[in-house]
Structure 1
Amino acid sequence: MIVGFDYGSSNCAMGVMGEQGVKLISLEAERTYLPSTLYAQHNALVVDYVAKQLQNRNATEATLYCESRANTLNSLPAIRRDLGLSQSESGLAIGSAAISEYIDFPEEGYFVKSPKSFFGAVGLKAQQIAFFEDIATAMIMQIKQRAEHQLRQALTHTVIGRPVNFQAIGGEQSNQQATDILTVAAKRAGFLEVDFLFEPLAAGIDYETSLSEDKKVLVVDIGGGTSDCSFVQMGPSYRGKSVREQDFLSHSGKRIGGNDLDIALSFHKLMPLCGLGSQLKSGLPMPNQPFWQACKINDLQLQTDFYSSSNSRALESMLRDVGEPQKLARLITVQQQKLGHQIVRQGELGKITLSQEAQFAANLSFIEQGLNQTVSVNELAESIDDSLIQICALAKQAISDANTQPDVIYLTGGSAQSPLLKAKLQQALGDIPMLNGDNFGSVTAGLTKWAEQIFR
């Protein structure tokens, strides 16, 4: 069976073609969107899960995989014994269950949000690439199994959405590394054929279905990890073609998305409670770096540095030299209890709430009882202004590269509904008609329609 698969930075979704068009598949508790998160009581349990799933399906592939992960697998009996896990317990969760496990046990286990954000990272070693393959494989295996249970059919062919660029740096080498990781993972999960499509193009293909006349469309897709623009000729004259390269006038993309807006708000408006902006007793300002590291949950190296034992010692030493030690003590709590994701979650909730309301009360009681911070719409605008400017620059670049003006701007993605973004785009691009698609479903629908076209 053929599916479109949005393995997104914020959420994952799958779609199939039904009698009434695209149907999104329920992936957890009758919801069609599953948060892109994974939690394991120990990172070796990710490898264990993949190995067991392969052994149940393909003995030859399982043997090759187990040989490549022999050192990790040899350590599992002791790890399971220490954790008190039986052989029937995976110790692994994805989606909302992973978030719940992390909130309940932040100091224990391994938690990753938006793993796709790391796949194109520059300078990854072979061991790190292998581990990201394992994370993606474990997630795709579970998602595929849930979808097959719903559909009562095996999924064999898929088109997976991808950003124009996985990283701001690294170029095509980063893009190839990321698509290789996803291809390996999808095939280990049991897909026989795997193809990719730019996410903004997928959203555009979904929008094209509704057009009664040809238009030049600038698709602006604000995803969780990236912002991408595709300038496409669409309409009845183009619809149904399986080769569309000549219709794609330009692309632009950058690794800046909804997660970065959450991080920016968290850093600028929540980190001052943990000492950002404070002074040392010498009168010099506190360095910004540890506060940025705490919030930058989509940067593997910065997170590793923040949670390192050497940083723990540095923060404890700094405690004696700051003018407001009670604030820095909160940052030490964040570091020791691994609370960075929870802080950025409050930033995300603030971004969502402030798209409709004037104020948001961030609840930081997980750091210190009774700790909270009120954030206004104006403060959100100040915090994310630089990110919005970069997104507008991508849209202007796509228009410039296409060397023509769009008839319409089609906005999609989780952060595309932000009034601040729309106002900034209008200021940068002028009075081009602008409309919102299904902020979460357009990409999945387009991937599903494209998959049907190329695999049928």
Structure 2
Amino acid sequence: MVLACGVDFGTSNSTVGWARPGQPALLALEDGKPTLPSAVFFNADDDTVHYGRAALAEYLEGYEGRLMRSLKSLLGTSLIEGQTEVAGRALPFRMLLTQFIGELKRRGEREAGRAFRHAVFGRPVFFVDGDPEADRLAEETLAGIARAVGFEEVGFQYEPIAAAFDYESRIGQEELVLVADIGGGTSDFSLVRLSPERAGRAERRDDILASGGVHIGGTDFDKYLSLAAVMPLLGYGSMLLSGAQVPSSYYYNLATWHTINQAYTRKSVAQLDELVRDAAEPAKLQRLCRLVEDRAGHWLALQVEEAKIGLSSAAAVDMALDRLAPPAVLPVTRAQFDGAAAELVESVAATVAQLLRDAMVQPGQVDTIFFTGGSSGVTALRERIAALLPAARKVEGDLFGSIGSGLALDAARRFG
């Protein structure tokens, strides 16, 4: 048995994989499930820390405290060197990530019944678009955190390549595959030659024709849906008596997972109180103020996320916004979502088209599109990618587990 694991630290969900003959690679991390939502809740009522589904449940049950989600989005930004306040104490963001990844390691080892000394971590093709130095620092930061929690050796693998390894374990002949990994924070693609014969090779560099990615993922779709459908109820796009528009920064903070807590600062609250007096539609701004006072921004983001997921299989959904004052039921249609996300979809499609050009591959040469990542269920995005390769088979992997399983296989090859 190898003492190496694969760690998929995701923007929305995380997994730990361990390659064992004849057994599933992914280890159960919470309530028998292989995924642990990438969320931490600091419960101020009893001074405890909760992770994953338990963190979200504690927050939604109304306990006083601080919810943190989309932790991976901090990598590659200046925020990683900053800090936030939790229960009156300063908490460096780097320490926050260390706590979460340490918890992933502990849970994986508990389930496996042994310690893991080595790990292969997944990483997006680009942590940061167009900034190689920031991208390098993001990987170095994650490697340092991994070593700090007890991994002696740490390797990295592009997340779509890891997903390709998982898919390769189930095919019977050679295929040229476009792996489309649409996660919570990034959309990553790799064009790879896969086959049962190639699977045993330790070196796969020649099988990878091209990789590319863009910093667009599920949380961006959440944000644009929120701004288009929900934030107007709170005054987004409305006017002040002076004729100026209400500043948009409050709404962007509330619509973006990793900046929601910035809406709760004393300065922000004081500014909102002043805006109410100057608003042409004060009732909308008062609703925003009450939402901020109740620290219900994460609750609202969860409702938007659920609506996005619902629109993957339905033409319309109703958002029950019962914590707004007054409460509201907001109908949202897929057409509305598609319109809000159109620019994001085209940016992702342009990334795929460039990838094919880089690889000097014609669309008709691609045998299969392998979709993975929780956000690959966004209908407009999936259809747009498929339209670029109309002759290719469309295969759906384990949306939340393919990367972790592939990382486990890669860890076994590297360290086994």
- Structure 2 length-normalised TM: 0.91
Please name the residue that 2:287 is paired with.
330
Q: 2:14 aligns with which of 12, 15, 23?
A: 12
Do the aligned residues in 2 keep the contact of 1:410 with 1:437 (CA within 8 Å)?
Answer: yes
CA deviations 1:180-216 (Å, max 9, x no partner) are 2222222222222211110000001111122322222
Q: 1:119 aligns with which of 75, 100, 105?
A: 75
CA distance in 2 between counterparts of 1:151 and 1:351 reads 35
Q: 2:95 aligns with which of 131, 134, 145?
A: 134
Q: CA deviation at 1:221?
A: 0.3
Do the aligned residues in 1 keep the contact of 2:369 with 2:386 (CA within 8 Å)?
Answer: no
| Residue type of the alignment partner of 1:222 | I
Change in Cα spacing, 1:19 to 1:125, as seen in structure 2 (3 Å) is closer
Please name the residue that 1:433 is paired with.
393
CA deviations 1:250-284 (Å, max 9, x no partner) are 11112110111111111110111111232333455
CA distance in 2 between counterparts of 1:187 and 1:152 reads 20
Do the aligned residues in 1 keep the contact of 2:81 with 2:94 (CA within 8 Å)?
Answer: no
Q: 1:234 aligns with which of 187, 194, 209?
A: 194
Please name the residue that 2:88 is paired with.
none
Change in Cα spacing, 1:123 to 1:103, as seen in structure 2 (3 Å) is closer
CA distance in 1 between counterparts of 2:386 and 2:14 reads 30
| Residue type of the alignment partner of 2:40 | L
User: Which runs of no fewer than 5 residues in structure 2 stay unpaired?
Assistant: 85-90
User: Which residues of 2 match residues 247-262 of structure 1 at below 5 A?
Assistant: 247-262=207-222
CA distance in 2 between counterparts of 1:379 and 1:252 reads 29
Q: CA deviation at 1:454?
A: 0.7
Do the aligned residues in 1 keep the contact of 2:81 with 2:92 (CA within 8 Å)?
Answer: no
Please name the residue that 1:66 is paired with.
none
Q: How many residues align?
A: 405
Q: 2:309 aligns with which of 352, 359, 364?
A: 352
Q: CA deviation at 1:304?
A: 6.1
Q: CA deviation at 1:123?
A: 6.9
Q: 1:30 aligns with which of 29, 32, 37?
A: 32
CA distance in 2 between counterparts of 1:84 and 1:451 reads 39
User: Which residues of 2 match residues 329-408 of structure 1 at below 5 A?
Assistant: 329-405=286-362, 406-408=366-368
SS at the partner of 1:110? strand
Greater Cα offset, 336-345 or 352-361: 336-345
Q: CA deviation at 1:445?
A: 0.9
CA distance in 2 between counterparts of 1:84 and 1:198 reads 40
Please name the residue that 1:416 is paired with.
376
| Residue type of the alignment partner of 1:389 | E
- Structure 1 length-normalised TM: 0.83
Please name the residue that 1:79 is paired with.
none
| Residue type of the alignment partner of 1:241 | R
Q: CA deviation at 1:403?
A: 0.9
Do the aligned residues in 2 keep the contact of 1:22 with 1:448 (CA within 8 Å)?
Answer: no
Q: CA deviation at 1:135?
A: 1.6
**Are 2:122 and 1:158 equivalent residues in the alignment?**
no
Q: CA deviation at 1:310?
A: 2.4
Taking only the aligned residue pairs, the percentage that are identical comes to 33
| Residue type of the alignment partner of 1:172 | P
Do the aligned residues in 2 keep the contact of 1:417 with 1:436 (CA within 8 Å)?
Answer: no
Q: 2:4 aligns with which of 2, 5, 14?
A: 2
CA deviations 1:106-136 (Å, max 9, x no partner) are 7x433210111111114754778x9233122
CA distance in 1 between counterparts of 2:292 and 2:126 reads 31
Please name the residue that 2:87 is paired with.
none
